[in-house]
């Protein structure tokens, strides 16, 4: 390397070092990292919560999971008599599911009686597919048509600990949340929290496990709405707006 090239190269290295150091020591960055660490230590897991809800049912149980990825992480551990899975196979190449398609396609075919039977009713539908508000909202609306009257809709990722976890863009990982991503599922869940025809709560564990029921009194709907779905408003009113409760409190409801 010539002297002149080395001079400019060294300046660039120093600039990168300074910028990197400032980024890694930034309070927002450190706080976000702390929040990720706190969240991954919380218990129980979504799997335990779903299995608990299934255990309340008498007789044979039927379970549907939307968005499966690696079934070893949840699906294979769900205890139900009949199980079905839906995933277009975006994140896990093997994609060993029953219906290799999007949730929209699945519900469209189900309603037309092209798959299973449109008379089917599930004890639990676990929505964990595309984590964007509009899609999750549609998944909830469709799922409500296919759960039993005393069934549950369960949703993963309803309680993002920071706005970086709640970013829209899954692909962009240069944020303080890094690989962790809850997307905007919380907005769809919050919208349904405002609907008085359903009961809902969110378990404060595993990034927020939302539960919706037509029948079980899980919690009253809210009238104060975060009209513009601002993250800061969620942060200030998290407990009330999401009806955030711990697992023990959920058990006491039954
Ligand atoms: C977060 S992962 C699911 C994790 C799994 N449920 C668990 O508990 O470990 C999200 C999955 O949703 C799938 N997915 C993405 N878009 C989808 C869509 N429109 N409909 C259904 N699944 C979708 C992805 O392929 C991915 O496998």
Q: What is the pLDDT along the chain (254 residues), one digit of tens a residue?
A: 788 888 888 888 999 999 999 999 999 999 999 999 999 999 999 999 999 999 999 999 999 999 999 999 999 999 999 999 999 999 999 999 999 999 999 999 999 999 999 999 999 999 999 999 999 999 999 999 999 999 999 999 999 999 999 999 999 999 999 999 999 999 999 999 999 999 999 999 999 999 999 999 999 999 978 999 999 999 999 999 999 999 999 999 99
67 lines ligand 1 (CB under 6 A): yes
pLDDT at residue 47, as a whole number: 98
By most ligand atoms within 8 Å of CB, the mutation choice from 63, 69, 110 for ligand 1 is 69
For residue 155, list its beta bridge partners.
127, 210
pLDDT at residue 25, as a whole number: 95
- One DSSP character per residue, 21-51 reads HHHHH-HHHHHHHHHHHHHHH-SS-HHHHHH
pLDDT at residue 234, as a whole number: 97
Considering only CA atoms, which residue is closest to atom 1 of ligand 1?
128
Residues 75/82, Cβ–Cβ less than 8 Å: no
For residue 65, list its beta bridge partners.
85, 126
pLDDT at residue 227, as a whole number: 94
By most ligand atoms within 8 Å of CB, the mutation choice from 65, 72, 87, 155 for ligand 1 is 87
35 lines ligand 1 (CB under 6 A): no
In ligand 1, which atom is closest to the CA atom of 102?
20
CA 215 – ligand 1 centroid, Å: 27
| Side-chain half-sphere CA neighbours of 229 within 13 A | 18
Place of tokens 């639990």: 124
pLDDT at residue 7, as a whole number: 85
Residues 208/160, Cβ–Cβ less than 8 Å: yes
For the chain, which domains are there? 12-252 (3.40.50.150)
Residue 239: alpha-carbon gap to chain centroid = 17
143 lines ligand 1 (CB under 6 A): no
CA 13 – ligand 1 centroid, Å: 40
Report pTM: 0.96
Distances (CA, A) of 79 to 32, 123, 128, 232: 35, 12, 18, 38
Distances (CA, A) of 61 to 54, 79, 98, 116: 7, 9, 17, 16
Residues in contact with 101: Cβ distance below 8 Å, sequence separation at least 6, in sequence order: 86, 88, 109
pLDDT at residue 4, as a whole number: 87
pLDDT at residue 218, as a whole number: 97
pLDDT at residue 154, as a whole number: 99
pLDDT at residue 10, as a whole number: 85
């Amino acid at each position: 390397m010539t002297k002149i090239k080395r001079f400019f190269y060294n300046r660039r290295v120093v600039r990168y070092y300074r910028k990197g150091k400032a980024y890694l020591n930034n309070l927002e960055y450190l706080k976000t990292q702390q929040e990720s660490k706190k969240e991954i230590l919380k218990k129980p897991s979504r799997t335990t919560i779903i299995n608990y809800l299934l255990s309340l049912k008498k007789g044979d149980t039927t379970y549907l999971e939307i968005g499966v990825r690696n079934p070893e992480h949840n699906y294979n551990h769900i205890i139900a008599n009949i199980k079905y899975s839906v995933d277009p196979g975006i994140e896990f190449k093997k994609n060993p599911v029953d219906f290799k398609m999007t949730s929209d396609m699945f519900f469209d075919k189900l309603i037309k009686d092209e798959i299973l039977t449109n008379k089917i009713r599930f004890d639990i539908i676990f929505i964990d597919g595309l984590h964007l508000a509009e899609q999750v909202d549609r998944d909830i609306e469709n799922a409500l048509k296919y759960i039993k009257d005393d069934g549950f809709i369960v949703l993963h990722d309803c309680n993002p600990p920071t706005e970086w976890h709640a970013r829209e863009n899954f692909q962009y990982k240069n944020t303080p949340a890094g690989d962790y991503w809850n997307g905007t599922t919380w907005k769809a869940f919050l919208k349904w929290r405002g609907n008085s025809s359903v009961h809902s709560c969110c378990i404060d564990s595993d990034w927020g496990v939302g539960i919706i029921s037509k029948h079980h009194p899980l919690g009253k709907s809210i009238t104060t709405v975060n009209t513009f779905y601002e993250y800061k408003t969620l942060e200030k009113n998290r407990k009330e707006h999401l009806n955030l409760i711990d697992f023990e409190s959920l058990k006491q409801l039954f």
